[in-house]
């Protein structure tokens, strides 16, 4: 296995508001600072896999406002030749982060909603040639189903990060080789032998469990994506389950040490005035 990871998922611009504490329902919180940084589960996980040493291709969608983001991804080792351009704004995630590093997120799909099963079919050659395919649920279900089916037909193992969990998660999970969920998602989806992330307690996969090294949390945004990307990279080169889990936990823990979903996230990717 050569470490060829194909990631199929979302690209978002993250609008991050730093607050003293997350607002309760009906409450208004004043932001201490607002930043616009690169995000989206697909892009986050693609970069996570690239940082872990994989050769990564991203299949995704952006609007006309996403070209600078694509150059950023290429600069950091992610092939974007299979990213479609849609007549919509690039997706947005609106994130509040409190003083303890906990977050609350609202996602507007934007161009991600245009990622169709037809586009996935056009990309079938790169999917069939992968060592592993990694998908998440911030894109249309039909596109995910097509990707998992194409990969299975080519005997390519797949990872589904069933997040954000929805009514299709169990069906999609049954199509995937490996499913990654957090504790809350696992209670909703209930897939046997899933990889379960446990936040500060690490992660477990069947009989294997890994606790992270103690670290001071800055921001938990993107930690799960770093975990999934590293897991895919490790499995793509034939690492064992326990080895892959340990690498993923290490990457996820590292991701809590910087603000935003990506370590270079404060490299400008958009002008705040142009966010609509």
Bridge-based pairing of strands 132-136 and 4-8 is parallel
Bridge-based pairing of strands 55-62 and 33-39 is unpaired
- Report the alpha-carbon distance of residue 102 to residue 124 in Å, rounded: 38
| Token pair of 45 as six digits | 């996980």
Q: How far is CA 37 from CA 30, 153, 258, in A?
A: 19, 37, 12
Query: Cβ(267)–Cβ(69) under 8 Å?
Result: no
DSSP assignment of 214-242 equals P---S--TTHHHHHHHHHHHHHHTT--HH
| Token pair of 224 as six digits | 């799960």
**225 tagged catalytic:** yes
List 193, 225, 264, 271, catalytic entry: 225
Q: How far is CA 264 from CA 18, 73, 122, 166, 253, in A?
A: 18, 11, 31, 31, 16
Catalytic sites, residue numbers: 225
């Amino acid at each position: 296995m050569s470490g060829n990871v194909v990631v199929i998922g979302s690209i978002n611009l993250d609008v991050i508001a730093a607050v003293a504490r997350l607002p309760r329902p009906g409450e208004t919180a004043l932001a201490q600072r607002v930043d616009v940084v690169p995000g989206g589960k697909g892009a986050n996980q693609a970069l996570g896999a690239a940082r872990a040493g994989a050769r990564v291709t991203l299949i995704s969608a952006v609007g006309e406002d996403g070209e600078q983001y694509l150059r950023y991804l290429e600069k950091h080792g992610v092939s974007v030749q299979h990213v479609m351009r849609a007549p919509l704004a690039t997706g947005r995630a609106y994130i509040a982060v409190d003083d303890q590093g906990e977050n609350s997120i609202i996602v507007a799909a934007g161009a991600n909603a245009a990622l169709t099963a037809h586009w996935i079919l056009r990309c079938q050659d790169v999917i069939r040639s992968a060592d592993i395919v990694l998908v998440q649920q911030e894109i249309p279900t039909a596109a995910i189903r097509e990707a998992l089916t194409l990969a299975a037909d080519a005997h390519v193992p797949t990872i589904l990060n069933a997040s954000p969990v929805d009514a299709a998660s169990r069906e999609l999970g049954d199509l995937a080789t490996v499913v990654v969920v957090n504790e809350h998602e696992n209670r909703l989806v209930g897939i046997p032998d899933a990889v379960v992330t446990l936040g500060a307690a690490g992660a477990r996969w069947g009989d294997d469990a890994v606790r992270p090294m103690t670290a001071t949390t800055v921001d938990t945004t993107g930690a799960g994506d770093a975990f999934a990307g590293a897991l895919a990279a490790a499995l793509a080169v034939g690492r064992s389950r326990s080895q892959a889990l340990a690498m993923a936990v290490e990457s996820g823990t590292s991701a809590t040490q910087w603000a935003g979903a990506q370590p270079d996230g404060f490299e400008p990717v958009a002008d705040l005035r142009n966010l609509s």
